[in-house]
């Protein structure tokens, strides 16, 4: 009887976790093609173009990978914020030839945010997110 009661109490927990996982994996699959196109493009603002997708995936991510998604989204947000704060267009911003009006301090903020994207912390977060998507959803983050 106790086993039956324990099993009955555990079923809603397992089903609830599966639903969240299904939502997350569904979001991954919904964004896969678009994310692949964005990441494989040669546009200098490719990561910023993926910002909305990353935010959506972060929101639907299971708790065990939420911190890694936050690191990735935070780094992309930081670059976008630095470029916008400088009044520059992310699509056309060239650090070697910044638009008029971008101060040295703003250029340094953009460079710092850009460098953070390649930092070990962000690279490891992206690796962890990609591996977790493969393990849990049985598909890669991009095609």
Contact (CB, 8 A) for 88 and 102: yes
- Total-model pTM: 0.80
Estimate the share of the chain in helix, then strand, then coil, as percent rounded to the nearest 5.
75, 0, 25
pLDDT tens digit sequence for 26-54: 999 999 999 999 989 887 788 899 999 99
- Locate 40 and state its tokens: 């494989």
139 phi/psi in degrees, rounded to 5: -155, 155
pLDDT tens digit sequence for 42-101: 877 888 999 999 999 999 999 999 999 999 999 999 999 999 999 999 888 888 999 999
Please report, for the chain, the start and end positions of each structural domain, with discontinuous segments joined by +. 20-137
- Mean pLDDT, range 1-30, rounded to an integer: 58
Confidence of residue 122 (pLDDT cuts 50, 70, 90): very high
- Locate 62 and state its tokens: 């299971």
DSSP 3-state assignment of 36? helix
- Locate 49 and state its tokens: 């173009």
């Amino acid at each position: 009887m106790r086993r039956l009661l324990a099993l009955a109490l555990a079923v809603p927990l397992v089903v609830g976790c599966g639903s969240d996982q299904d939502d997350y994996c569904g979001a991954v699959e919904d964004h896969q093609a678009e994310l692949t196109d964005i990441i494989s493009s040669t546009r200098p603002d490719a990561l910023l173009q993926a910002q909305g997708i990353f935010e959506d995936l972060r929101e639907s991510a299971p708790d065990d990978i939420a911190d890694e998604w936050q690191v990735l989204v935070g780094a992309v947000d930081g670059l976008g914020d630095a470029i916008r704060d400088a009044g520059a267009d992310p699509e056309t911003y060239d650090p070697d030839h910044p638009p008029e009006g971008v101060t040295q301090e703003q250029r340094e903020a953009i460079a710092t945010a850009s460098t953070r994207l390649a930092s070990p912390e962000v690279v490891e977060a992206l690796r962890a997110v990609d591996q977790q998507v493969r393990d849990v959803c049985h598909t890669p983050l991009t095609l």
